[in-house]
Amino acid sequence: MSVKFAVLGHGVVGSGVVELFYKNRKSIEKRAGTEMDIKYILDLRDFPDSPYKDKFTKDFNDILNDDEVTAVAECMGGVEPAFTFVKACLEKGKSVSTSNKELVAEKGDILLAAAKANNCNFFFEASVGGAIPIIRPLHRCLAANDIDKVAGILNGTTNFILTKMYNDNMSFADALALAQKLGYAEKNPTADVEGHDACRKICIISSLVFGKHIYPSSVFTKGISEIDLADVAAADILGHAIKLVASVRRLDDGRILPAVMPMLVPHENIMAGVNDVFNAVLVYGDGIDQAMFYGRGAGKLPTASAVMGDVIEAVKHKVTVFSQTWTSSDDNSFVAPVNELCTKWYFRVPADCESVAEGAYTDENGISFITEENLSFDEAAAKAEKLNALAFLPVLD
């Protein structure tokens, strides 16, 4: 018997799913253990030149009401109408695989519950780290671990910009313009540059690891638009690369502290070498010590590859994979405020400043140094004010 699935959306990712499926159909069917085909592609636009033009529909109900369709790949993006469509599919017992991080970060708990209630699966490997297998390894291969920290470079656009600043001495504005020219950044780059995209992804990871839904609105988020070339250069001389780090850690009292912000990553940390549009996720557990997953965090075929991998899983597992789930949370008291993050800090202060740490580096942009002691956010801000700091950034421990 042949399994039929539908693809919602024929944009970059959705068209990639179609392309990848037909390219590798034979090996995909072998891995799924069954014949497979795409029955519908949902898009409001016309694609008269597509070789699959007879599969297109503009009416979601064609898919919803066709019992032959048992799996759906959602690649539309945005919360609505994706949420309504996905929920309806799950309620009909159709498993859904999505690349839509906004949907998972805002509505993951509801959709996971719907999947469970209807004995099907809601998978979202592609929503974090694009091609990088991270959701499933986190939940399966590392199942025996007590995970207490995850830190990642989860946005390719900002990592490309920071890499250009570091390698080619480009200003933030020039690097952003180049990213836009190359198609790595959108015309309105706010979601990437200000950290909102990375925030959604760390919310998904945090929810998965700690079992409760973490909403983007409860995560401290700061982007890279204020990063100065002088700090990129000084950080390098002090042995660090500046990266936009999305992280979550469990505090001693059990609360968790998620945050997105530019941080100094020591050169010895493998994450410092993650450049260009590549993403990486570093996971710390009591058994494994640390493990890193690295790859392309976005792009047509990389993301499609993750969606398609989930579709194969959905076809293979006809019952809900219970473990990959988390619960709703009305109360956010288990999320600690960012001020409780205690770490070393980088400061750049005016050249006439006298109160600096060992190993400070001086050039025409001022004196740069890293504190020997850990400081909270508030303490760092107070110190910055006292020293008239030109810049200050936390250091990843």
User: From the list 37, 146, 378, 385, which residue makes contact with its own copies (rule: CB under 8 A)?
Assistant: 146
Number of residues that this document lists for the chain? 397
Residue 53 as a binder of its own copies (CB under 8 A): the answer is: no
Residue type, 208: L
Residues 6+ apart with CB under 8 A from 209: 138, 147, 150, 248
Using DSSP's 3-state secondary structure scheme, residue 226 falls into coil
Determine which residue in the list 27, 61, 188, 333 makes contact with its own copies, applying CB under 8 A. 27
Of 39, 87, 107, 201, which is the active-site residue?
A: 201
- Judge whether 201 counts as a catalytic residue: yes
Cα separation of 304 and 151, whole Å?
24
The answer to whether 37 contacts its own copies (rule: CB under 8 A) is no
Among 294, 326, 361, 369, binds its own copies (CB under 8 A): 294
DSSP letters for 127-181: GSSTTS--HHHHHTTTTTS-EEEEEEE--HHHHHHHHHHHHH---HHHHHHHHHH
Q: Which of 44, 79, 117, 141 binds its own copies (CB under 8 A)?
A: 141
Q: Which two tokens stand for residue 104?
A: 């998972």
Does the footprint of its own copies cover residue 186 (CB under 8 A)? Answer: no
Q: Judged by CB, which is closer to its own copies: 192, or 313?
A: 313
168 binds its own copies (CB under 8 A): no
Contact map string, positions 264 to 293, toward its own copies, x by CB under 8 A:
----x-x-xxxx--x------xxxxxxxxx
Q: Which of 7, 132, 202, 248 binds its own copies (CB under 8 A)?
A: 132
Alpha-carbon gap, residue 152 to 247, rounded angstroms: 6
CA distances 264 to 189, 209, 286, 310, 343, Å, are: 23, 24, 24, 34, 11
Could you tell me the smallest distance in angstroms from the CB atom of residue 228 to its own copies?
Answer: 25
Cβ 150 vs Cβ 281: under 8 Å: yes
Which spans of this chain sit near its own copies (rule: CB under 8 A)?
A: 20-21, 23-24, 27-28, 30-33, 125, 131-133, 136-137, 139-146, 268, 270, 272-275, 278, 285-296, 299, 301-302, 304-306, 308-309, 311-313, 316, 322-323
Q: Active-site residues: which are they?
A: 201
